[in-house]
Structure 1
Amino acid sequence: MKNRNIIVIILLCFTFLLTADNSPAQIVLTEVMFESAENDNYYEFIEIWNSDESAIDLSGFRLGDGTGDDLIIPVNGGLTLQPRQFGLILDPDYFDNPPIYEELIPDDCLLLTIESAAIGSYGLKNTIPETVTLFDSQGVIAEYTYSIGNAPGYSDEKIDLLGADDSTNWSDCLTLNGTPGFDNSVSPDSINLTLSDLSYSPSSITRGMTATLTAVITNSGIDSAPPFEAGFYLDSDEDSLLSESELFAVECCASLNPGDEIAVHAVTGSLWEGIHLFAAEIFLEDNDPSDNTAFLQINVGASSGSVILNEVMYKPLSGESEWVELNNRSAFAVNLEGWKFSDSDTLDKSLIQTIEIAPDSYIILAKDSTIFDWDLPPEASVMVLCGWNPLNNAGDTLYLFDAIGNIIDFIAYPSDWGNIDNGISMERINPQSFASTLSNWFQCTSSSGGTPGCENSVFYLPSMNTGVELKASPEVFSPDGDGIDDNVTISYSLPIPTARLNIRIFDVRGRLYRFLLKGDLTGANGEIVWNGIGEEGKVGRIGPYIIHLEAMSEPAKQTYEAKMVVILGGKL
């Protein structure tokens, strides 16, 4: 019985010794404010933390700075530091001055101070580093040598509270006045998923394409994260306030270990040109929701050739404006916001302001307001551009860029382009063929010298190549001056884009009566009016007349012909 009691006493003593040796070692230095925002010693503080699962009595604990140490005493809550509780050791004079940390210190923090007038011998120095040491009756429990150079009001914080006290595990606090009595700003959270990256592919996207969004999610916490979901949004109103109506995909993700990452993908619908704001969000309540969302901007370009350079006035008459006509040959409206136009000096582009161009419509970009001197159609869209670069008569290259900088169309023209006179534009023949093909351009054949806002005078599509069509309206006309059918309109359609055109009028005996057109330049379509007057300046006799059309292609010199009969009538 006596031996058994001795054994019990020995075990109790051994248990007491273990407790006395180990418990104080679980007190950790976690934060040092050595230079306050007010630059006063009485706003310095030392933060400690109880990492143990049991409470620890701080009676007899002392705090030093290498030149002296002081007894730690309570403020109003005793000296027992509860499990996982922070303790804040404040300068004694703090309580006699404006309490700048009052709004920061949580209620569950144990407030402490020291017995002497200042922490250390004369307060903590901010010109040389000092070593802060925590003692108990057995000796040193923890110590840390802080690094100087922090901005005033920014403390040194321990990153991993259970890690070493060397400089690699400490960092400058991220917030002014530190984190007295609560989690350090530089410490990892227990559960924290971070949306570390949001990207898309392919890198270049044009209208009608889809994009694959990739969200990289990292477990930045120290504990495993449970299964979670990731959502993808199209922020259609671009207000950065994500709503359920903007959510287009939700992906389920498995649990994630600390330090691991996962890539989550979602595919958008077909995109239209312009700027689109997308976002991804982690659906999990963790310790730091501020890093659970990421935004991404995708600039979608227009399809190449959807809007084309269609007509160029680069040699206007004196006092008139240079201008370029664009044509939307696509099947949908195109918003030109952010588009740019330039000549060969692509570093100096003219910005096209917000304007929408409807399918098969035109917009005229002009140097100045004299463009309005033209007889423009009522529906014509005109934009006078700021910073217009002069179009060089000696040759130049014209570019049309979409909002993301893609070249949508361009034409490089030489000094002798079209050999045109001033006041004559160059027109694109076939809008479906490349602008860069010089043979796809021809000088305007309209008497006005240009067709801004209208179909080009030389407009031609290969599908129109069905032979020469010659029509007259009316087929019976009476040039008697009564205002009714006094003229006949002769219209033609050629199987070639441009030609030199002869139109002759013969009487019933085959004699030349009138030479209406003689080697005139024309496009694939045109019309001319005859008033019944012959070469001698008199109205012809009543009866049939033969219209003979002869078109010679440029430059192949191939000839196309057509004939028809009209009746010159009169009063009986």
Structure 2
Amino acid sequence: MIMLFRMISWRVLNISCIIYLNLIILSKKMSANMKYLSLILILSSLLFSKVILTEIMFNTAADENQDEFIEIFNNSDSTVDLSGWSFKDSTENDLLIKYHGFTDMLLKPFSYCVIMDSSYYLNSIEYEDLIPDSVLRVMINDGSMGEYGLSNSYSETIKLFDPDSILTDSCRYIYTQTEGYTYERSSYIEDSWERSLVIRGTPGFRNSVMPLDTDLELYSIAKPAVIDPAGNNTFTVKVHNKGLSTISGIRINLSINGTFYNFADHAGSIASNDSAFVDFTVFFDNSGTQELLFDAEAENDSELNNNSLTLSVFVPYIEKPLVLNEFMKNPAAGQCEYIEIYNISGEPVNIGDFGLSDEIKTTVVFFPDSLIQPHSFVVMAKDTTIFAFPDVIRQNVFIASNLPALNNAYDKIFILTKDSQAVDSIYYDDVDDDAGRSIEKINTEFNSDDMNNWHYCVNDGTPTRENSVYQEPEDIGGSAHFKISPKTATPNDDGENDNLLIAYQFDSSYIYLTMKVYNIKGQLISKPLNGEYSASKGNIVWNCKNDNGMTVDTGAYICLLKAKDDNGKVVELKEAFYIAK
């Protein structure tokens, strides 16, 4: 560090000598006008300044009568006797004198001196834990810094004079900065100042804003505009050299969710006050919110507190992990609105990555961070009356008074991710206004955005439990055909076999599907599917109602399923079933 100061000092001195010689020549040419000579003498004294102002405490959070201080620095390789030195604010000049217990006022090369208020010694210990014992202290010859203490209501200029009353340095501090922080010099060469980074400042040692010899900063991280959950993602890390020396051998380490992932090296060096960019390629093994920690390494780095940055990244799910399963839109007295979701995946899911919203989408209410286990139900409820329902699993319920109000006649419910992507949704309308009964999905695997897959709860509601109207379709195996279950449907709203489930599978990737229901007389009763493009495998729910919305009579019926593939091939399948009461 001393060698660095010496290099800076001699460099400034050489420049100063050249300027000074030119100024002498200029002064001889202007000897007829003495005002120019006076200006030259002032400029030359500044150029040869050895002692500089480095820190000013003018707005202490402690006692302003005794805890103000000024710090100076000997920016040369020779000792300076501070006897006869003084400083001045706007109006008054204060002479520096020996501090209690000090035998001299000798400021060693490249060393600090703290100028204390004369009343500090007997009345305060504010800086005793900060000022190193080896640092020279001096004090002023009267009872206050400047005329009435250093102002914290307007800006002032502090001037430092040598024993010959020659100005050696000056600083105009900005009074508006935060109480308890000092005004610090940020360069030994340039006249640049900033607010200290630490409260009470740094009396007697390196300023908090002063650059170190070696100081690598991890400045920023640029993430991809879109995160690819199934491919590589490039993150660009910007590192900045805040120090005075050139830095090489830089390595960036990356940890994901606390586990080391990989590292990347920067080939080359970074000059002082310069920056470089390092690309990081990341393939995410997991979906949801991932916590990334980037950490920079460099040999002899003197400041490690600025070497790390964290970044939260939401990795989209390739397959949706959550689905809507039940909702209460029109609660009876003593009930509340609620929405139930179901973990359809085979892994635990952090539901804190997801929120619920209605059709307006002005408010998305997110779940708190919590793991929902595979094939489990979680409920967001408007208030605590949710616990009045029987057998509610309390730990699977989250109360949110700001849950969007559901319209009784029509509305849309969304599960949204943190990046505003819709995971699942349902649009409901033209349903009975049956107060006090929730609307349940017949099977969690079925498409949510098809009202044929939903039915009113048999009783009132089943939050956190299997739906009362749940039905499981039959396994159709691997051949191209379909199966109906149950063989006898009983649409009496008791929750048992109220709907007809048709499971189908065909060989083609996509099919054009038609489904019609006929009675034994061959009369067309209903068209549950009147020509829709569909995946090759799926399920259809028929609510046992005709096209006029009336429940069909008891008896035997024929289901006709017709599928046309993208090559024009048509497959027609028929199966009989019964309707009973």
TM over 0.5: yes
| Alignment coverage as a number of residue pairs | 474
2:239 to 217, 230, 234: 217
Instruction: Give the 3-state SS of the residue equivalent to 2:119 in structure 1.
Output: helix
Residue 180, structure 1, aligned to residue 203, structure 2 = yes
For 1:395 and 1:201, the matched residues in 2 are separated by 38
Instruction: Give the 3-state SS of the residue equivalent to 1:441 in structure 2.
Output: helix
Q: Structure 1 residue 503: deviation in Å?
A: 8.0
Relative to the length of structure 1, the TM-score reads 0.65
Q: Structure 1 residue 136: deviation in Å?
A: 3.2
Q: Structure 1 residue 279: deviation in Å?
A: 0.8
The 5 A counterparts of 1:269-308 are 269-284=283-298, 285-303=300-318, 305-308=320-323
Question: Could you say which residue in structure 2 is the equivalent of 1:28?
Answer: 52
Residue 336, structure 1, aligned to residue 358, structure 2 = no
The 5 A counterparts of 1:363-374 are none
Q: Structure 1 residue 57: deviation in Å?
A: 3.2
Residue 50, structure 1, aligned to residue 74, structure 2 = yes
Relative to the length of structure 2, the TM-score reads 0.64
For 1:92 and 1:179, the matched residues in 2 are separated by 20
Change in Cα spacing, 1:47 to 1:366, as seen in structure 2 (3 Å) is closer
Change in Cα spacing, 1:248 to 1:66, as seen in structure 2 (3 Å) is same
Give, as a single letter, the amino acid of the residue that structure 1 aligns with 2:252. Answer: A
Give, as a single letter, the amino acid of the residue that structure 1 aligns with 2:219. Answer: S
Question: Could you say which residue in structure 2 is the equivalent of 1:551?
Answer: 558
The 5 A counterparts of 1:412-561 are 412-415=427-430, 435-436=448-449, 438=450, 441=452, 452=467, 456=471, 465-466=480-481, 500=517, 550-553=557-560, 560=574
Moved more, 303-312 or 450-459: 450-459
2:96 to 72, 81, 86: 72
Give, as a single letter, the amino acid of the residue that structure 1 aligns with 2:117. Answer: D
2:424 to 409, 413, 416: 409
Conservation of the 8 A alpha-carbon contact between 1:85 and 1:108? no
The 5 A counterparts of 1:183-332 are 183-204=206-227, 208=230, 211-236=233-258, 246-253=259-266, 254-284=268-298, 285-303=300-318, 305-309=320-324, 330=345, 332=347
Give, as a single letter, the amino acid of the residue that structure 2 aligns with 1:188. Answer: P
**Residues 245-285 of structure 1, C-alpha deviations (whole Å, 9 max, x = no match):** x2221222232111211222323342423332221112234
Residue 144, structure 1, aligned to residue 171, structure 2 = yes
Question: Could you say which residue in structure 2 is the equivalent of 1:511?
Answer: none
Q: Structure 1 residue 86: deviation in Å?
A: 0.8
Change in Cα spacing, 1:554 to 1:53, as seen in structure 2 (3 Å) is same
Change in Cα spacing, 1:72 to 1:309, as seen in structure 2 (3 Å) is closer
For 1:116 and 1:445, the matched residues in 2 are separated by 89
Conservation of the 8 A alpha-carbon contact between 1:23 and 1:52? no
Conservation of the 8 A alpha-carbon contact between 1:158 and 1:171? yes
List alignment gaps of at least 5 residues for structure 2: 1-16, 22-43, 488-499, 505-512, 529-538, 543-554, 564-571
For 2:486 and 2:158, the matched residues in 1 are separated by 104
Conservation of the 8 A alpha-carbon contact between 1:197 and 1:216? yes
Question: Could you say which residue in structure 1 is the equivalent of 2:120?
Answer: 94
Change in Cα spacing, 1:189 to 1:464, as seen in structure 2 (3 Å) is same
Q: Structure 1 residue 105: deviation in Å?
A: 0.9
Change in Cα spacing, 1:311 to 1:30, as seen in structure 2 (3 Å) is closer
Give, as a single letter, the amino acid of the residue that structure 2 aligns with 1:91. Answer: D
Q: Structure 1 residue 176: deviation in Å?
A: 3.2
Instruction: Give the 3-state SS of the residue equivalent to 1:308 in structure 2.
Output: strand
Instruction: Give the 3-state SS of the residue equivalent to 2:243 in structure 1.
Output: coil
For 1:358 and 1:256, the matched residues in 2 are separated by 50
**Residues 350-376 of structure 1, C-alpha deviations (whole Å, 9 max, x = no match):** 6556453526x7778888769967xx9
Conservation of the 8 A alpha-carbon contact between 2:72 and 2:112? yes
Instruction: Give the 3-state SS of the residue equivalent to 1:157 in structure 2.
Output: strand
Q: Structure 1 residue 218: deviation in Å?
A: 0.8
Moved more, 73-82 or 97-106: 73-82
Identity across the alignment (%): 22
1:107 to 133, 147, 158: 133
Change in Cα spacing, 1:555 to 1:414, as seen in structure 2 (3 Å) is farther
Change in Cα spacing, 1:321 to 1:459, as seen in structure 2 (3 Å) is farther
Instruction: Give the 3-state SS of the residue equivalent to 2:120 in structure 1.
Output: helix
Instruction: Give the 3-state SS of the residue equivalent to 2:235 in structure 1.
Output: strand
Q: Structure 1 residue 344: deviation in Å?
A: 2.2
Q: Structure 1 residue 551: deviation in Å?
A: 0.8
Q: Structure 1 residue 117: deviation in Å?
A: 5.2
Question: Could you say which residue in structure 2 is the equivalent of 1:356?
Answer: 372
For 1:209 and 1:202, the matched residues in 2 are separated by 14
Change in Cα spacing, 1:89 to 1:319, as seen in structure 2 (3 Å) is closer
Question: Could you say which residue in structure 2 is the equivalent of 1:83?
Answer: 109
For 1:22 and 1:337, the matched residues in 2 are separated by 62
For 1:552 and 1:419, the matched residues in 2 are separated by 31
For 2:308 and 2:94, the matched residues in 1 are separated by 47
Structural RMSD (CA) = 5.3
